[in-house]
């Protein structure tokens, strides 16, 4: 698999972003040029939330002052490592 990045999150776990997922994320026009914002939100999130329907999923949030919205990143953990599923801006934490 080809990675755009692999970094350690706030909890010390490795998270990967694949080229395929980055391509998917960039379909959201507001996400163009936001790769560094995604990395920062994974390393220094304002909030990490669990997902009640899937304990292996975590939601990362960071407020972006320029967008005046929250950057949302969903991460799936498998075998101790995380994989970004999607990312986009949202008006509120869900």
Q: Residues 45-89: pLDDT tens digits?
A: 999 999 999 999 999 999 999 999 999 999 999 998 999 999 999
Question: Which of 89, 92, 77, 87 lies closest to 24, judged by CA?
Answer: 87
From the CB of residue 26, how many other CB atoms can be counted at a distance below 10 Å? 14
Average pLDDT, the chain: 95
How do 57-64 and 81-90 pair as beta strands?
Answer: unpaired
Q: What's the rounded Cα separation, in Å, for the pair 3 and 5?
A: 5
pLDDT at position 1 is 64
Q: What's the rounded Cα separation, in Å, for the pair 44 and 78?
A: 21
Residue 94 has pLDDT above 90, yes or no: no
């Amino acid at each position: 698999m080809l990675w755009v990045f692999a970094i350690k999150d706030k909890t010390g776990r490795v998270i990967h972003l694949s080229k395929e997922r980055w391509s998917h994320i960039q379909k959201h026009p507001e996400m163009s040029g936001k790769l560094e914002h995604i990395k920062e939100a994974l390393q220094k999130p304002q909030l990490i939330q669990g997902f009640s329907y899937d304990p292996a999923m975590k939601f990362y949030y960071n407020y972006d002052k320029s967008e005046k919205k929250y950057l949302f990143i969903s991460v799936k953990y498998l075998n101790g490592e995380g994989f970004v599923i999607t990312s986009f801006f949202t008006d509120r934490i869900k």
